[in-house]
Structure 1
Amino acid sequence: MKNYIKTGFLSLLCASSFIFVGCSEDYLNDPQPTEIVAESVIFGSRTGVEAFLSGIARRARGQFSSVDAAGVNSIYFARTLKGNDLIHARSWWGFDYDNDNREPTYRRTSFSWEFPYYMINQLNACINGVETSELSEVDKSELIGQARALRGFYYFQLALEFQEGYTSSNRDLPAPPIYTELSTEGKPMGTLGELYDFIVEDLTTAISSLSEDRLGKSYVNVNVANGILARVYLAMSNWDGAEDAANAAYGGNVAAVLDPDSYGNGFDDISNVEWIWGNPQTGDQSNYYYNAPSAFVDPINPAYNNIYINEFFANEFTATDARNTFTYGTATDFTKVTSTKFVFAFSSDIVLMRTAEMILIEAEAKFRQGDEIGARDLMFELQSNRDPMAVKSTNTGSALEEEILLERRKELYGEYGVEWFDAKRLQRGIVRTPNHRIVKTLEPNDKRFYLKIPQVEIDANENIDDSVNSGR
């Protein structure tokens, strides 16, 4: 990790100047640093730190190294295309679709390691700067809470990308190292258990210091932190924790946080009541074509036009379902079905977390704990909101489990790789239908569910050598 820490963060001042110059009125309009901003300016006021955090949010949606290695959306979309529900036609993300993009020298591997660590370094700079500042204890607690929630989020991405799904029996598997300070010295690999414990600590500490207040939906508040924790607990099979965190994330009132009429509006507006967290876009700060959802075939607002919908998946939606945004063409191959779920525009906002996901996490957690009635009732609240003709499930056992998991795919396809995430955490594998352009099966715990450690890290870090990829 020495190389990219040295080049990206020579000191707290370098990290801070990049962020701060990317954030206030002039800074937000100019993503390139034009001058050095003193540490005392950034950490001398709450406004300065909030500008720091704004710059971190801006970096999360910017282009990091290429079109398919941009920000958080690129990580999410690469996972999405490894599954069965979407079909890739051409161009960007093709190797991800092929589930063949994991070698140490590949761009996906390097990006999926370097981008989260880049963001973690900035968050460490924020945390350390606030801790040593003269801000009030209230301001310190709230600002550090935001940064720790984000740090937990990015370490969670590393945990998902670079090791098997978490189980109580594989906590000793090697996992990416943990950094809490700016450093030019690379650490050895840690363990998966240590990494998940650290993630949970960051998030629970953040939750204890945050409220629902925030400057906007691109910032972290207690709802966002709970939503991240709900995902983490889901990955850890901590069903009780997942239920509580998910309920806290959306507030517990299903009717108040859903708007089926807006589902077909193109998923481009962060102000939607269903959005808990997102990245806003403006025309003068657009990420242009590297906003991953622009890859969908949108017959109204075309962009890359390289992603189609699996016909078998589309057929799972009823005609009266608000989520049925599909158009069936006359083609007989994988290009038959398109979707207008994601409208393309240079100013389209990017969704990161929605209330419906949290409702379904809570429903699954109830099911896993034996409360099948509660799971069916909660799921039906969502289903009947989406489809006025929905019929309440009478399923039990494995049939109810499959219904909940299908409902997650129907609700969240194209957003953050839910099909891949569920297959990995539940050790289920992914079986593609024969209509795919590339038909591949991922077995449970398939090595293709995680990446090899990038060669750039091995070359730069004296505590990690080539043996780290043995057996991977």
Structure 2
Amino acid sequence: MKNIVRNITAALVSVICLGSCSQEFLDEVKPTTGVPVESIYESRTTAEGAMAGILRRFRGQFENAAGVASTDVGGLNSMFYARSLKGNDVISSNNWYGSDYENNNREPTYRRTTFTWDYPFFMINQVNNFIKQVKASTKIVEDDKNELLGQGYALRAFFYHQLVLEFSKSYNEDQNYPAPPIYKEPTVVPKGMSTVKEVYDFMVEDLTTAIPLLSEDRLGKSFVNKEVANAILAQVYQVMGKWDLAEAAAIEAYGGNVTSVLDAGGYGSGFKDNASVEWLWGSPQRPDQSNYYYLAPHAFSDHRSPGYYSAYVNSTFVSLFSATDVRGGVGPTKLFNKKSATLPSTDYRYYVSNKFSFTFSSHSPIIRYAEMILIDAEAKARQGNNGGAKTVLFALQKNRDANAVQSSNTGQALIDEILVERRKELFLENGIEWFDAKRLGKGMPRDGNQRLKGPNAGVTYDLQAHDLRFMLKVPQSEIDANPFIDNTVNNGK
């Protein structure tokens, strides 16, 4: 269990410096001096400084086994971006994320696997310490304590969701499948694997406990409030197929008024500003705390600024958009552009995306209101409320495209239309194509101008329904250190 122990130690060390970290992290949090460790949980203000330090690690770069910081393990963004590359809509050149695109970056000793296990557990350990210290505080008044605890419970559930998505089968495929260990408090005592059902039950418990404790107020959009917790819960219920509960949570998250949380005019502004009315939850940064070139997807997909120039767009995906859709179109001022006038249309580099604009101070979206609107639409359709689903869906479509026409689809055809709309709306943001394929037991066949085959004859990059490559294997470092997990955990994976 060296990984867990190491992360607990790192979490405790980080708490010591969290007061000063919070000063550096957000413009919304402005302490003037570092906070001694014995005073961190003396008041709501200092505890919020501790939380700001935890949130700063959403975009922290992690080191590999050799102690070298790697470009493709830059916090939460890198997990989302790796998922985006595994499907049909994005094409990656053979760059930092090339193996993720090829769907072969999953062995127990690989950097992707180790990071995707260690990073969420690192964050969970920090949150567990935060929860423990807030509970133990005799200085924080009860109402403030409850709201702080609500933030902690919601964050813990969020990171457990990332773990179970990556390392286990889908909830609707096998609820008894092994899942990562559940830790409810800081500990140096290792645990064995849990099950998918146990993790989802735990997340629901955390989130339904958190929501009544939280208010709509918060220090800034990087912090969790009642809306954010409901949004995470909507994602969890969506995977579980509990559609009435997913619908209710999604509506609580976006407020039920579609047009009030959308801004079509700002859609082409580069997805780099946390202040956008469309962002429910985001991760801001300042130039002096930049992610530099490991900020994904900005530094990889923006071909107009200095960066890696490694992400391209499938021609089939580009064709889904009308010329009047603010999310589509081809040209220098549109969301897609041609890489070069000399490339043939069959070349994988033919189209690039202008959606994300890269600077050293670009912010990163985590959850946008549009995702909640589309969860609401899907949940209504799954429950047979075709009229309600079409009304919600059309409100978003009309905002994006003045020439949009309300769908005449019903049943599965309407659901399929909503799933395509999710891909169009959330392209490159959070791996939505992968997320939907995994939760629904669908494959992701590749077409268009993709790089279709791997280096070995007959080996394709496609993912089939329930493909084992939807899962990462448990890291060897965890197996070696945890007496309750052995090599058999990866049997059949």
TM range (shorter): over 0.9
Which digits, 9 at most, give the CA deviation of each residue in 1:388-433, with x for residues without a partner? 0001110122221211100000000100000000000000111001
CA-based RMSD: 1.7
Equivalent in the alignment of 1:197 = 201
Which digits, 9 at most, give the CA deviation of each residue in 1:229-249, with x for residues without a partner? 111111111111110111111
Equivalent in the alignment of 2:350 = 336
Equivalent in the alignment of 2:482 = 461
For 2:51, the aligned partner's letter is L
How many residue pairs match? The answer is 464
Equivalent in the alignment of 2:381 = 367
Which digits, 9 at most, give the CA deviation of each residue in 1:126-149, with x for residues without a partner? 000000101111011000000110
Query: 1:21: Cα distance to partner?
Result: 4.0
Equivalent in the alignment of 2:56 = 58
Match of 1:48 among 46, 49, 66: 46
Do the aligned partners of 1:11 and 1:182 also contact (CA within 8 Å) in 2? no
Identity %, equivalent residues: 53
For 1:90, the aligned partner's letter is N
Q: What aligned pairs does 1:17-416 form with structure 2 within 5 A after superposition?
A: 17-24=16-23, 38-65=36-63, 66-134=70-138, 135-167=140-172, 170-324=174-328, 325-328=335-338, 329-330=340-341, 331-332=343-344, 333-416=347-430
Equivalent in the alignment of 2:331 = none
SS of structure 2 residue aligned to 1:300? coil
Matches of 1:67 and 1:102, distance apart in 2: 17
Query: 1:360: Cα distance to partner?
Result: 0.4
Q: Judging changes above 3 Å, is the alpha-carbon distance between structure 1 residues 13 and 82 closer, same or farther for their aligned structure 2 residues?
A: closer
Equivalent in the alignment of 1:32 = none
User: What TM-score do you get using the length of structure 2 for normalisation?
Assistant: 0.91
For 1:405, the aligned partner's letter is L
Do the aligned partners of 1:185 and 1:461 also contact (CA within 8 Å) in 2? no
Query: 1:8: Cα distance to partner?
Result: 3.3
Do the aligned partners of 2:301 and 2:356 also contact (CA within 8 Å) in 1? no
- The structure 1 segments of at least 4 consecutive aligned residues displaced by more than 4 Å after TM superposition are 35-38
Query: 1:38: Cα distance to partner?
Result: 4.4
SS of structure 1 residue aligned to 2:312? strand
Do the aligned partners of 1:423 and 1:430 also contact (CA within 8 Å) in 2? yes
Equivalent in the alignment of 2:9 = 10
Matches of 2:61 and 2:55, distance apart in 1: 13
SS of structure 2 residue aligned to 1:60? helix
Do the aligned partners of 2:316 and 2:448 also contact (CA within 8 Å) in 1? no
SS of structure 1 residue aligned to 2:365? strand
SS of structure 2 residue aligned to 1:256? helix
SS of structure 2 residue aligned to 1:377? helix
Q: Judging changes above 3 Å, is the alpha-carbon distance between structure 1 residues 298 and 11 closer, same or farther for their aligned structure 2 residues?
A: closer
Do the aligned partners of 2:445 and 2:463 also contact (CA within 8 Å) in 1? yes
Query: 1:209: Cα distance to partner?
Result: 0.6
Do the aligned partners of 1:268 and 1:350 also contact (CA within 8 Å) in 2? yes
SS of structure 2 residue aligned to 1:231? helix
1:444 aligned onto 2:457: no
Query: 1:15: Cα distance to partner?
Result: 4.5
For 1:149, the aligned partner's letter is A
SS of structure 2 residue aligned to 1:264? coil
For 1:247, the aligned partner's letter is I
Q: Judging changes above 3 Å, is the alpha-carbon distance between structure 1 residues 13 and 392 closer, same or farther for their aligned structure 2 residues?
A: closer
Matches of 1:15 and 1:283, distance apart in 2: 22
Matches of 1:139 and 1:86, distance apart in 2: 44
For 1:7, the aligned partner's letter is R
Matches of 2:137 and 2:421, distance apart in 1: 47
Which digits, 9 at most, give the CA deviation of each residue in 1:179-216, with x for residues without a partner? 01111121011111111000111111111111110000
For 2:292, the aligned partner's letter is Y
Query: 1:436: Cα distance to partner?
Result: 1.0
SS of structure 1 residue aligned to 2:22? coil
Matches of 1:230 and 1:399, distance apart in 2: 22
For 1:358, the aligned partner's letter is M
Query: 1:14: Cα distance to partner?
Result: 2.8
User: What TM-score do you get using the length of structure 1 for normalisation?
Assistant: 0.95
Do the aligned partners of 2:279 and 2:369 also contact (CA within 8 Å) in 1? yes
Matches of 2:305 and 2:349, distance apart in 1: 17
Q: Judging changes above 3 Å, is the alpha-carbon distance between structure 1 residues 36 and 255 closer, same or farther for their aligned structure 2 residues?
A: closer
Query: 1:6: Cα distance to partner?
Result: 2.9
For 2:78, the aligned partner's letter is S
1:426 aligned onto 2:443: no
Query: 1:50: Cα distance to partner?
Result: 0.3
Q: Judging changes above 3 Å, is the alpha-carbon distance between structure 1 residues 143 and 313 closer, same or farther for their aligned structure 2 residues?
A: same
Do the aligned partners of 2:314 and 2:448 also contact (CA within 8 Å) in 1? no
Query: 1:434: Cα distance to partner?
Result: 4.9
Do the aligned partners of 2:384 and 2:411 also contact (CA within 8 Å) in 1? no
Query: 1:54: Cα distance to partner?
Result: 0.3
Q: Judging changes above 3 Å, is the alpha-carbon distance between structure 1 residues 432 and 48 closer, same or farther for their aligned structure 2 residues?
A: same
Matches of 2:17 and 2:62, distance apart in 1: 14
SS of structure 2 residue aligned to 1:177? coil
Matches of 1:363 and 1:12, distance apart in 2: 40
Structure 2: which 5+ residue stretches go unaligned?
28-32, 64-69, 329-334, 454-460
Q: Judging changes above 3 Å, is the alpha-carbon distance between structure 1 residues 282 and 133 closer, same or farther for their aligned structure 2 residues?
A: same
Do the aligned partners of 1:13 and 1:38 also contact (CA within 8 Å) in 2? no
For 1:68, the aligned partner's letter is D
